[in-house]
Amino acid sequence: MVERLLNLFWILLGSAAAWQSWKLGLRGPSGPESGLFPFIASCGIAVLGLSLMLARASRVAQPQWPDARAGLRTVGVALGIALMAFGMDRLGFVVSAAIAMPVLLRTIDRASWLETLILTVGSIAAIVLVFGKLLGMPLPRGPWGW
C-alpha cells in the first residue's frame, strides 16, 4: 500500500511540474525556451511513477535501511549545495565554490585533503578559464571583484 502511495506521489509531482514548465514555454522563435528541460524531466518522473504503479508490487520480507552515515552524507551534500547557492551572490563564484567543493568532495568521494585541494583549485580555475575568459560568460563576482 505504501508503495502505491509513493508511486502516486511521483505521478502527481511529475504531472504538476510538467504543467508548470509548460506554462514557462517549451519553444520560442529563437529555439528552446526555459521550460523545455524541466518539462522533459518532469514527464520522465511521471512516466516512471506510472510504470512503477502498473508493475507488480514487490514484497520484501526484511527491508534494508541505509546506515546512519548515509544520512550524514545526504546532509553534507545538501549543505554543500546550500553553501554554493547562498554564497554565490554574496561572495562570488570563486569563493563560494572554494568553500562548497571541499565539503562536497570530502562528503561524497571521501577524498584526501590533498586530492580535495587539487580538485578544488583545478576545477575552479578551469571553469573561470573556459566560461569566464574563453566564452565570456559573466560569473558572479564577490565583494573583492573576483
Give the per-residue pLDDT at 106.
86
Give the per-residue pLDDT at 18.
95
Residues 44 and 16 both lie in one domain: yes
- The answer to whether 42 and 17 are in contact (CB under 8 A) is yes
- Of 26, 54, 82, the one marking the end of a domain is 54
Q: What percent of the chain has pLDDT over 70?
A: 95
Distance CA 145, CA 95 (A): 11
Counting as low any pLDDT under 50, the low residues of the chain are none
The three cell numbers locating residue 77: 551534500
The range of the structural domain enclosing residue 110 comes to: 68-134
Q: How far is CA 141 from CA 31, 64, 113, 120, 138, in A?
A: 29, 46, 26, 18, 8
Question: For residue 49, which of 94, 7, 85 has the smallest C-alpha distance?
Answer: 7
Q: Tell me if residue 66 falls in helix, strand or coil.
A: coil
Give the per-residue pLDDT at 144.
81
Q: Is residue 79 part of a domain?
A: yes
Residues 76 and 120 both lie in one domain: yes
Helix (H) or strand (E) holding 31: strand 31-32
Q: Is residue 61 part of a domain?
A: no
Q: Is residue 125 part of a domain?
A: yes
Total number of domains in the chain: 2
Give the per-residue pLDDT at 122.
96
Residues 46 and 97 both lie in one domain: no
